[in-house]
Amino acid sequence: MAGSVLVVGLGGTIAMTSTAGGGVAPKLSAQQLVDAVPGLAATGIEVQATTFLNRPGASLGVGDLVELVRIIEASSAAGIVVVQGTDTIEESSYVLDLLHGGDRPVVVTGAMRNPTQAGADGPANLLAAVVIAASPEARGLGCLVVMADEIHAARRVRKGHSTSTAAFASPNGGVLGYLVEGRARFVNRVDGRIRVPLPVGSPSVGVCVATLGDDGATVGVLAERLDGLVVAGFGAGHVPEGWVDGLTAAAKRIPVVLASRTGAGPVLRETYGFAGSERDLLGRGLISSGYLDAYKARVLLHLTLAAGFDRERIAATFAVAGNG
């Protein structure tokens, strides 16, 4: 196997070492991470490394990822690997999927165990990510997340465990493939990838989660301060009856997207008829997120607003992106 891959370091557990004050914090460069991977030279893949940031995943922002897209676009490598904190991979990978043009693979990876721990998973994840980024089969699939030898579509992947090395899953539709005997094996496809132009604004977009007995006061206050709101409803897209008037008013002023807080499965359209049901809310002007979970929906709403899309275009974009 040959090809060239650029590894861009953003920080995260994979790059963390012990600090004088206790605990671990990001410190290692992308080159140090690459140098620590056994078996990388034997792949024949030409690897270059650059450290863009060294931060925990929690402190990355959309602006950082826009800069990263520019780094990716300026590179002539056949594939790109982004190394970052796993805490925000499910969102950052979707930002990259939406913003990066072209067919070159962009593969995001990280580690659940830091390099000071027994069984640190960083080197294996980085090796797998480099191999997949160099694979012709990965071209045209947008941004992929590779963890624990599994290949996930950015649009579907979720972090479902706070510590396990098997923390990542794609509950809607399953993984796209695996790393097997040092090669990418794709067993599944995802269609209908969309792209959004680079941001020209920085809207304020929030997520409000429906919870048992919530009287709707918080969602009302929140909606007044935002340019776009994602509601993570119960089940197939339901909220307490007391939220309905506030959401109806909000949807007249800003785009309000209805997602499910469950983390898998779609928002329904025409099943339930009670006040606060998905039928009721969609009829009042909320936009369905379809299969996109609330965090992905927030990414898409943020980027479409930032690109200057109006409500109609945002709704049309969600209809495609939320389709599975």
Active site residues: 13
Does 110 sit near ligand ASP (CB under 6 A)?
yes
What is the nearest approach in angstroms of ligand ASP to the Cβ of residue 90?
11
Find the part of the chain contacting ligand ASP (CB under 6 A) among 36-44, 56-64, 226-234, 240-248.
Answer: 56-64
Nearest CB to ligand ASP, comparing residues 85 and 322: 85
Strand order in the sheet with 183-186: 46-55, 4-11, 79-83, 106-109, 143-147, 150-153, 177-180, 183-186
Q: How far apart are CA 175 and CA 253, in angstroms?
A: 38
Q: How far apart are CA 69 and CA 286, in angstroms?
A: 31
Q: Taking CB under 6 A as the criterion, which residues in 185-204 touch ligand ASP?
A: none
Q: Which of 151, 140, 139 is nearest to 192 (CA)?
A: 140
Q: Which of 163, 124, 172 is nearest to 321 (CA)?
A: 172
Q: How far apart are CA 33 and CA 14, in angstroms?
A: 8
Does 57 sit near ligand ASP (CB under 6 A)?
yes
Q: Taking CB under 6 A as the criterion, which residues in 2-31 touch ligand ASP?
A: 12-13
Does 276 sit near ligand ASP (CB under 6 A)?
no
Nearest CB to ligand ASP, comparing residues 167 and 196: 167
Nearest CB to ligand ASP, comparing residues 13 and 43: 13
- DSSP state letter for 48: E
Does 109 sit near ligand ASP (CB under 6 A)?
no
Does 86 sit near ligand ASP (CB under 6 A)?
yes
Residue whose CB is nearest to ligand ASP in the complex, by number: 85
Nearest CB to ligand ASP, comparing residues 109 and 170: 109
Find the part of the chain contacting ligand ASP (CB under 6 A) among 54-62, 141-149, 260-268, 279-287.
Answer: 54-62
Q: How far apart are CA 183 and CA 1, in angstroms?
A: 9
Does 56 sit near ligand ASP (CB under 6 A)?
yes
What is the nearest approach in angstroms of ligand ASP to the Cβ of residue 133?
19
Listed as own residue / partner, the contacts of 160-167 with beta carbons closer than 8 Å and 24 or more positions apart are 160/263, 163/112, 164/112, 165/112, 165/113, 165/119, 165/121, 167/86, 167/112
Q: Which residues have CB under 8 Å from 310's CB, separation 6+?
A: none
Find the part of the chain contacting ligand ASP (CB under 6 A) among 79-87, 142-150, 189-197, 229-237.
Answer: 79-87
> Percent helix, strand, coil in the chain (nearest 5)?
35, 25, 45
Does 255 sit near ligand ASP (CB under 6 A)?
no
Nearest CB to ligand ASP, comparing residues 112 and 307: 112
Count of positions (residues) in the chain: 324
Grouping H, G, I as helix, E, B as strand and the rest as coil, residue 92 is helix
Find the part of the chain contacting ligand ASP (CB under 6 A) among 34-42, 62-70, 80-88, 95-103.
Answer: 80-88
What is the nearest approach in angstroms of ligand ASP to the Cβ of residue 157?
14
Does 112 sit near ligand ASP (CB under 6 A)?
yes
Does 85 sit near ligand ASP (CB under 6 A)?
yes
Nearest CB to ligand ASP, comparing residues 13 and 304: 13
H/E element, 6: strand 4-11
- Amino acid occupying residue 290: G
Contacting positions for ligand ASP (CB under 6 A)? 12-13, 56-58, 85-87, 110, 112
